[in-house]
Amino acid sequence: ADIPLAGLGIDIGSVSTKAALIAEINGKFRLLAYYYRRTEIDPVGAAIDVINKVYNQVIERGYKIEKVVAGTTGSGRQLTGFIVGASKEHIVDEITAQAAGITTVYPQKEFSIIEFGGQDSKFINISQGVVVGFEMNNACAAGTGALLEKYAMRRDIKIEDFGDIALRAKKPPDIDSTCAVLSEQSIIKYEQNNVSLEDLCAALTLATARNYLAKVVRGKEIKEKVVFQGATAFNLGQVAALETVLERGIVVPPWPHITGAIGAAIYGQQVYLNNIIKKLEQKSTKPFNYESQGPLILKKSKIMKPKEDWPYGADVPLAGLGIDIGSVSTKAALIAEI
């Protein structure tokens, strides 16, 4: 297909990096190509990779695009925007990008957006099609997807299966939703009492939903219509938990994990895909300079070492056994006065 103009959005977050290519065809925005991956320790490399993947999809699908406009968002938006030469108005904050991205597939005038990122979460209110209020939480992992992912790793289950497991729960316990640390401690207590994996996964999704309401929404008005965005929206257990806590149905868009990238594409400026890739590759080969705090050196501390004079074979009339059971580790020590 011949496309005179397309928009490329790049969303670099601390956990994931996304790129989306959109175009307005017959009066409606269409998603032409997209790619989602982990940012890991190389945000520039991740940006190169997602753009390359989108570029390859364009060629494979036979699109003939005359011009491409590009915008950036996410926690790494300034870096990417600087590299690709985007002007300030095309480096878009995450609230603006998330709100713009959903309007392409959900053209409502009054609704609230719940967005769970990997490390933060957002609450956005839309009225008459524009943002009228928002809140963010980036101080605690409890109201984000990070807590669920960490538990999935610890229990050796795929995060993609987390929601299905949670939906099989019969009696999820009420765990502490104050913060991520307390939630984990509560979970360990129930694990040690043989509560099922299904019930614990459901309990975590409910705790995440309650923490989000307490720490992010904080009593703000929630519209009758609610849209759930971010990759965590693929977790149907979390969708059910939000539905339970909010006492209403919520809407999950078809691409909840790339709404930010779609929004950034709408705010793009004219560039060329090949030029973006070349600039990013040049940046990735340059050494990274930063101000150092200096190496860590032990000078004054005293590191005591245990004495190795074990009294093997000794007759001991009395010994003391100490047992320390914690939420993370269990220890036992036997001592005697000799």
If pLDDT is split at 50, 70 and 90, which confidence band does 315 have?
A: confident
Question: Domains in the chain and their CATH numbers?
Answer: 2-105+259-285 (3.30.420.40), 134-252 (3.30.420.40)
3-state SS string for the chain: CEEEEEEEEEEECCCEEEEEEEEEECCEEEEEEEEEEECCCCHHHHHHHHHHHHHHHHHHCCCEEEEEEEEEECCCHHHHHHHHCCCHHHECCHHHHHHHHHHCCCCCCCEEEEEECCCCEEEEEEECCEEEEEEEECCCHHHCHHHHHHHHHHCCCCHHHHHHHHHCCCCCCCCCCCCHHHHHHHHHHHHCCCCCHHHHHHHHHHHHHHHHHHHHHCCCCCCCCEEEECHHHHCHHHHHHHHHHHCCCCECCCCHHHHHHHHHHHCCEEECHHHHHHHHHHHHHCCCCCCCCCCCCCCCCCCCCCCCCCCCCCCCCCCEEEEEECCCCEEEEEECCC
If pLDDT is split at 50, 70 and 90, which confidence band does 90 have?
A: confident
What pTM did the predictor assign? 0.79
pLDDT above 70 coverage of the chain, percent: 85
If pLDDT is split at 50, 70 and 90, which confidence band does 180 have?
A: low
The pLDDT, as a whole number, for residue 25 is: 86
**Mean pLDDT (whole number) for 136-159:** 79
Higher per-residue confidence, 108 vs 57: 57
The pLDDT, as a whole number, for residue 272 is: 53
